[in-house]
Amino acid sequence: MFRFITLILLGLSLSGMPPAIGAPTVSANAEAALKASLESVGRTVGPHLLRDQDGKPVDIASFRGKPLVISMVYTACDHTCPVTTQTVAKAVEVARKSLGRDGFHVVTIGFDTVRDTPEALRMYAKQHDIGLDGWTFLAGDAATMEALAANLGFTWFVTSRGFDHIAQTTVVDADGVIYRQVYGENFDIPLLVEPLKDLLLGRVSAALDSVEAIGNRIRYFCTVYDPRSDAYRFDYGIILSIAFGFLAVLTIIVWTFRLWRESRSASGS
């Protein structure tokens, strides 16, 4: 299926390395899907009117003000989409523990406009044990979904089994601009948490014009991923290393100054 070939192409594209001899030939569909996805980065997500799991109208633009994670699925999928949803859920929980529970929004959008009704999405959330606090499930009509997918750089095709689609999770900044695309249904947690960390703790903005901004920058550098626990933690060792380094430099300056004064005293006597 082309979503897996897309991931192979992605790896080759990001590494800048030519395909190995005997590597699979990437289909034109996969190549076009990846190109459309990558070209969406930096694009503003416009207004698209959808319905949430309770049938209430929700404009995707209403989530501005905080970063937004967007996952596109179809609820009848029995392979890729459930894995993607569980992976996103795990990464979201890790991000909330380390970055704050209210720092960003999450939406899952059902792109199968025939079957992915608000009721089907509500059931999908329940099946996957997804709490709806800060996580919204959205459905839409065919025209809206086509426009939204084009906006997000998301591609899918109808097949005899249902759909083939690019396995893509989109990170949008607080202004509604697409910041990062995360690929794969079983991606590594930092691939989603790191861009959220960038947006929430200030790596994107260089301004250190407040105590909060300075505190966030310290949190940014000291919040690190621990592969052993598959979670993020605050590394006090980084602060201690900086403090010891500063103390060492200060000691060198003091000793240099003392030697300079002693040499001046000796030359003057």
One DSSP character per residue, 84-118 reads: HHHHHHHHHHHHHHHH-TTS-EEEEEE--TTT--H
Question: Which residue segment(s) compose the domain that 68 sits in?
Answer: 2-185
Question: Which is more confidently placed, 144 or 250?
Answer: 144
Out of 56-60, 85-89, 117-121, 214-218, which region has the weakest mean confidence (pLDDT)? 214-218
Domain-embedded: residue 204: no
Domain-embedded: residue 61: yes
Tell me, yes or no, whether 113 and 241 share the same domain: no
**Confidence at 269, pLDDT banded by 50, 70, 90:** low
Domain-embedded: residue 256: yes
Domain-embedded: residue 205: no
Question: Which is more confidently placed, 236 or 52?
Answer: 52
Tell me, yes or no, whether 142 and 74 share the same domain: yes
Tell me, yes or no, whether 122 and 22 share the same domain: yes
Measure Cα distances from 211 to 95, 102, 175, 208, 216 in Å.
23, 20, 23, 8, 9
Out of 34-48, 109-123, 238-252, which region has the weakest mean confidence (pLDDT)? 238-252
Domain-embedded: residue 264: yes
Tell me, yes or no, whether 151 and 244 share the same domain: no
**Confidence at 217, pLDDT banded by 50, 70, 90:** low
Tell me, yes or no, whether 13 and 80 share the same domain: yes
Is 104:68 a contact under the CB 8 Å cutoff?
Answer: yes
Domain-embedded: residue 206: no
Half-sphere exposure of 168 (CA within 13 A, CB side): 31
Q: What angle do CA 75, 76, 82 make, to 5 degrees?
A: 60
Is 137:110 a contact under the CB 8 Å cutoff?
Answer: yes
Domain-embedded: residue 221: no
Out of 89-93, 122-126, 194-198, 210-214, which region has the weakest mean confidence (pLDDT)? 210-214
Domain endpoint, select from 148, 165, 185: 185
Q: What is the CATH number of the domain that holds 35?
A: 3.40.30.10
Domain-embedded: residue 63: yes
Amino acid 20: pLDDT: 31
CA distance 52 to 117: 9
Domain endpoint, select from 169, 185, 201: 185
Q: Tokens 């009117």 correspond to what residue?
A: 49
Tell me, yes or no, whether 150 and 66 share the same domain: yes
As a whole number, mean pLDDT of residues 31-51 equals: 96
3-state secondary structure of 19: coil
**Confidence at 96, pLDDT banded by 50, 70, 90:** very high
Q: Is the pLDDT of residue 13 over 80?
A: no
Neighbours of 268 (CB within 10 A): 6
Q: How many domains does the chain have?
A: 2
